[in-house]
Structure 1
């Protein structure tokens, strides 16, 4: 096996942050079978800011201890996603910075209700390719928790 850069290797689960949204300490599930990344969100509403479409939503963090965080982000698109059971759903798409380990890069997320899922954030293959990550599915939490500053006014 070639020598791998430990800074490019992640496991099946990792700690992430969304610094532009003020979200830190979020566990993510790495899912190479999903092309798009998804964030657990409710109370989603579209509005306009400076003539451009934005969305306001509540991000849900944590599984044992529920935390809610109000967020706003520019709306990138509406996307129809087909789930593994064949159901189609139209979702809002936002782009925001994702921090994983010492890497920070822009990722597109669909906003959807993931309350029945164990992980509130799913990191799909497009984000993994853009971040240039290699995955070892036999391991979890390889990278350190991201040490990022949240945006001004964030919790």
Structure 2
């Protein structure tokens, strides 16, 4: 059994997203990421979507193009159903990785650019500690400061 905190640092390498702080939300069924400028297009007869994850203090603007898995009615934080595009992508959290379904949502007024819902962790032998953070991963600040210190060491002979 793996123990994770109520927030963890995750990566979505197929979307070029690394070291994003995500809320582990067992109250949410579906995982979601903040995605702006969504544009559906055709590639080789399949529906794809391109979108932008806006810059935060931890990352630059991120752009992705991925096949659309589905369009689903998903309840937002107010409990109202809205139609969302859903994609499937690889999630990396700590030393673990697996594919998840991820809805593209407007999360600009939320505290986290991403939530990891219960279907993403179901069957993975994961328990969520509601009072602790970053049990399976480092804090994004620690990752940035470690990267910055490595860069500064490389800058000086």
Q: Which category of TM-score, normalised to the shorter sequence, fits these structures?
A: 0.7 to 0.9
Q: CA deviation at 1:67?
A: 2.8
Alignment partner, residue 135 of structure 1: 128
Alignment partner, residue 15 of structure 1: 9
Alignment partner, residue 56 of structure 1: 50
Give the distance between the partners of 1:84 and 1:70, measured in 2 at CA: 25
Return structure 1 stretches of 4+ with deviation > 6 angstroms.
none
- What TM-score results when the alignment is normalised by the length of structure 2? 0.82
Q: What pairs up with 1:42-53 in 2 under 5 angstroms? A: 42-53=36-47
Cα offsets for 1:38-90 (capped at 9, x unmatched) = 0000000111112111110001353x466311101110010111224232210
Mapped contact 1:105–1:131 kept (Cα < 8 A): no
Mapped contact 2:24–2:116 kept (Cα < 8 A): yes
Give SS of 2:61's match: strand
Q: What pairs up with 1:85-124 in 2 under 5 angstroms? A: 85-124=78-117
Give the distance between the partners of 1:144 and 1:14, measured in 2 at CA: 6
Give the distance between the partners of 1:100 and 1:65, measured in 2 at CA: 16
Mapped contact 2:19–2:58 kept (Cα < 8 A): no
Structure number with greater Rg is 2
- The count of aligned residue pairs is 140
Which residues of structure 2 form unaligned runs of 5+? 144-157
Mapped contact 1:77–1:93 kept (Cα < 8 A): yes
Which residues of structure 1 form unaligned runs of 5+? 148-155
Q: CA deviation at 1:13?
A: 0.3
Higher-helix-fraction structure = 2
- What TM-score results when the alignment is normalised by the length of structure 1? 0.83
1:35 and 2:35 matched:
no
Q: CA deviation at 1:131?
A: 3.4
Q: CA RMSD in A?
A: 1.9
Cα offsets for 1:84-121 (capped at 9, x unmatched) = 42322100000000000011100011101101011000
Cα offsets for 1:103-147 (capped at 9, x unmatched) = 1100011101101011000000000114331111111000124x9
Shifted more, 136-145 versus 79-88: the winner is 79-88
